[in-house]
């Protein structure tokens, strides 16, 4: 697995999209800190960009990269190595490359302008989202035969998790505001990795007013170290499950 991962990483290191992504993140992050006088405000704005942009680009890039490598993946599948190793290696390489791009593009400006707990939480959340959506992208790419359909499913997934899901939760909370619905909202919000990451950042900044209903409830339940740990574990599960499904689907797939 490591052999395939190593050479896939070498390929990705010269990938123009990965370089462009790094530059874009660096330009956006640096721009935020330079425009905003207050570094905390800049971090809040940057976190909104990271929460929306990172999942989208990780998802689309992973799907397209997997499709572009399809013929070579078939050639690898004819070699004396297991299929599980191939798909795991490709997932590890793509997520590592995008993590490196994120750390260079966002991590360096954050370290320069806003080092500290809030900045670190933003980086951890962005890194977690990158890994999660690489795993989801790999799963979509492995299970769909048609590239356009796979990208379409990726985009719908992103729109649903970024916009629709939170709106549904808000509607649910409004609709049942006269009932004790909080115990239900917390696990429901935990089902969305973007909400989870938003919580991690916002709880650290301690600006509950910016969080909306979902965030307020989360603040109540997860405003503690234990809550942070549970959120991180949920994000890890969000990576592990799609990754496992992708590996299982690829192992059974007719190539």
Partner 1 sequence: MDRIIFEGLGKRYGRQWALRGVNARFVPGEVVMVIGPNGSGKTTLIKCLLGLVRATEGAITVNGTAVSSDPAYRAAIGYMPQLAEFPKELTVEQLLRMMNDIRGARTGSTDERLFAELGVESLLDKRVSALSGGMRQKVSAVLAFRYRPNILVLDEPTAGLDPVSAGRLLDAVLRARREGATVLITSHIMEEVQRLGDRVAYLQDGRLRFTLAPETITSATGESALSQALPKYISQLAPHDVEGL
Q: Which is nearer to partner 1, 94 or 217 (CB)?
A: 94
Q: Which is nearer to partner 1, 3 or 149 (CB)?
A: 3
Q: Which is nearer to partner 1, 41 or 253 (CB)?
A: 253
3-state secondary structure the chain: CHHHHHHHHHHHHCCHHHHHHHHHHHHHHHHHHHHCCCHHHHHHHHHHHHHHHHHHHHHHHHHHHHHHCHHHHHHHHCCCCCHHHHHHHHHHHHHHHHHHHHHHHHHHHHHHHCCCHHHHHHHHHHHHHHHHHHHHHHHHHHHCCCHHHHHHHHHHHHHHHHHHHHHHHHHHHHHCCCCCCHHHHHHHHHCCHHHHHHHHHHHHHCCHHHCHHHHHHHHHHHCCHHHHHHHHHHHHHHHHHHHHHHHHHHHHCCC
* Angle formed by the axes of helices 2-13 and 83-102, nearest 10°: 40
Q: Which is nearer to partner 1, 11 or 36 (CB)?
A: 11
Specify the residue for token string 């290696």: 89
Q: Which is nearer to partner 1, 74 or 163 (CB)?
A: 74
The tokens for 130 are 């990158």
Q: Which is nearer to partner 1, 20 or 116 (CB)?
A: 20
Q: Tell me how far, at minimum, the Cβ of 71 lies from partner 1, in Å.
A: 3
Q: Which is nearer to partner 1, 13 or 237 (CB)?
A: 13
Q: Tell me how far, at minimum, the Cβ of 142 lies from partner 1, in Å.
A: 14
Query: How far apart are the C-alpha atoms of 195 and 58, rounded to whole Å?
Result: 17
Query: How large is the C-alpha radius of gyration of the chain?
Result: 19
Q: Tell me how far, at minimum, the Cβ of 89 lies from partner 1, in Å.
A: 10
* Residues in touch with partner 1 (CB under 8 A): 3-4, 7-8, 10-15, 68-72, 74-83, 251-252, 254-255
Q: Tell me how far, at minimum, the Cβ of 70 lies from partner 1, in Å.
A: 8
Q: Tell me how far, at minimum, the Cβ of 104 lies from partner 1, in Å.
A: 18
Q: Tell me how far, at minimum, the Cβ of 112 lies from partner 1, in Å.
A: 30
Q: Tell me how far, at minimum, the Cβ of 5 lies from partner 1, in Å.
A: 11
């Amino acid at each position: 697995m490591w052999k395939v991962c190593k050479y896939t990483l070498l390929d990705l290191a010269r990938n123009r999209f990965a370089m462009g992504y790094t530059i874009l993140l660096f330009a956006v992050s640096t721009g935020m800190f330079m425009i905003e006088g207050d570094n905390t405000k800049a971090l809040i704005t940057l976190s909104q960009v990271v929460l929306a942009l990172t999942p989208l680009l990780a998802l689309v890039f992973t799907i397209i990269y997997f499709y572009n490598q399809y013929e070579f993946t078939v050639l690898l599948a004819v070699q004396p190595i297991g299929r599980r190793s191939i798909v795991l290696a490709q997932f590890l390489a793509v997520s590592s490359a995008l993590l490196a791009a994120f750390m260079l593009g966002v991590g360096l400006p954050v370290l320069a302008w806003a080092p500290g707990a809030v900045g670190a939480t933003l980086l951890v959340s962005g890194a977690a989202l990158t890994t999660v959506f690489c795993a989801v992208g790999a799963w979509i790419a492995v299970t769909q035969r048609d590239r356009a359909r796979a990208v379409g499913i990726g985009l719908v997934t992103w729109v649903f998790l970024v916009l629709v899901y939170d709106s549904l939760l808000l509607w649910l909370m409004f609709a049942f505001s006269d009932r004790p619905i909080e115990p239900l909202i917390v696990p429901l919000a935990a089902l969305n990795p973007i909400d989870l990451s938003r919580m991690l950042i916002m709880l650290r900044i301690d600006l509950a007013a910016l969080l909306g209903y979902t965030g307020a409830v989360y603040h109540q339940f997860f405003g503690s170290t234990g809550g942070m740990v549970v959120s991180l574990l949920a994000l890890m599960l969000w990576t592990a499950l799609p990754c496992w499904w992708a590996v299982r689907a690829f192992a059974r797939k007719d190539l």
